[in-house]
Amino acid sequence: MGPLRCIVVATDFSATAERAVQRAARVAQAHKAELHLLNVVRPLDLYPGLTMAPDEFGHYDQELQQAEQTRLEALAARLADEWGIRAQATTRLGRAHAEIAAYAQEVAADLVVAGARGENTLMDLFLGSTASRLLRLAACPVLLVRRAADTPYQQVLAAVDFSPVSAAVVEHALRLADGAPVLALHVLGSEVEQRLRRAKRNQADVTVWLNRLRGDAETQLDTLLAHVEHGASVARRVQPGFSPAAICQCIEDCHADLVVLGRHGHGGGLQDWMLGSVSKDVAFAAPCDVLLIGLGGA
């Protein structure tokens, strides 16, 4: 897997976005990547209840876009000085998630960085945040930032389910860890959790069965890491449980500041996003930054 060459970070100049910008700058510095700062101006005609003539909408949109471009260029210049990186500023007019995804594809971005929550309106809560909608559209890995970027990542957790994307999950975890410890976690899953609960109610002994499952998973994990560069340096853990809860618990136990996982893994698709996939649940419940990888490492 090659180095990161182009990173796109979206900002609306909020405190959440500032954390994303600082993390993106830190990653860009570490990988000698070019940083693209993107601000998307929401057109006035997308706001319900506004009554203006079409030419008035366009006039105000252009004025706002120009003002945001000036503000963004100043931010890019400051980041270039502070971090010693190449940074450029671009504004777009439209819906944030669609414009971010389109711009990332246009510049062949290796990574998109965004705050875990940006726009925070009542409508946003009903329809889903910009970040959640971006995850459905972006063709490259997406890093959702929650924590301040005061230091490089100190502990990275790679959650794998042995689906085709798992190797890319570990590779990206190692790349962003930049030498920090990486722990590969496999959760045996909800079926095991349900069976354990039934066994407990029935006072049945499932130790042999559980040990066999754990042993099989450990063998799969060893095989996966054997095919990943520097995989030998990755710690590993297998445990039963409900996957989102187990991953979040492991984040707390090992004090991870970044968790990496596949966007869908097994059983992904539109239904997964409507009903809640493991990746979506973790992305919006984890107390740390979250990097989501699609098939093929995208």
Query: What is the predicted pLDDT for the residue at 275?
Result: 33
pLDDT in tens, 66-99: 999 999 999 999 999 999 999 999 999 988 889 9
Instruction: Give CA–CA dist 181/208, Å, rounded.
Output: 32
State the average pLDDT over residues 124-142.
71
Query: What is the predicted pLDDT for the residue at 172?
Result: 96
User: Bigger pLDDT: 240 or 36?
Assistant: 36
**What share of the chain in percent tops pLDDT 90?**
57
State the average pLDDT over residues 154-165.
94
State the average pLDDT over residues 259-284.
66
Among 108, 132, 148, smallest CA distance to 22 is for 148
pLDDT in tens, 210-253: 888 889 999 999 999 999 989 899 999 998 888 899 999 999 99
- Ramachandran quadrant class, 237 (left: phi over 0; alpha: psi -120 to 50; beta: rest): beta
Indicate whether 271 pLDDT > 50.
no
Give yes or no for a contact between 286 and 182, defined as CB atoms under 8 angstroms apart: no
Indicate whether 121 pLDDT > 60.
no
Instruction: Give CA–CA dist 292/214, Å, rounded.
Output: 25
Q: What is the pLDDT of the chain when averaged over all its residues? A: 84
Query: What is the predicted pLDDT for the residue at 119?
Result: 45
| Residue 40 main-chain phi, psi, to 5 deg | -110, 120
Query: What is the predicted pLDDT for the residue at 122?
Result: 40
The CA–CA distances, whole Å, from 225 to 43, 153, 220 equal: 47, 21, 9
pLDDT in tens, 92-101: 998 888 999 9
Query: What is the predicted pLDDT for the residue at 62?
Result: 84
Indicate whether 127 pLDDT > 50.
no
| Residue 262 main-chain phi, psi, to 5 deg | -75, 150
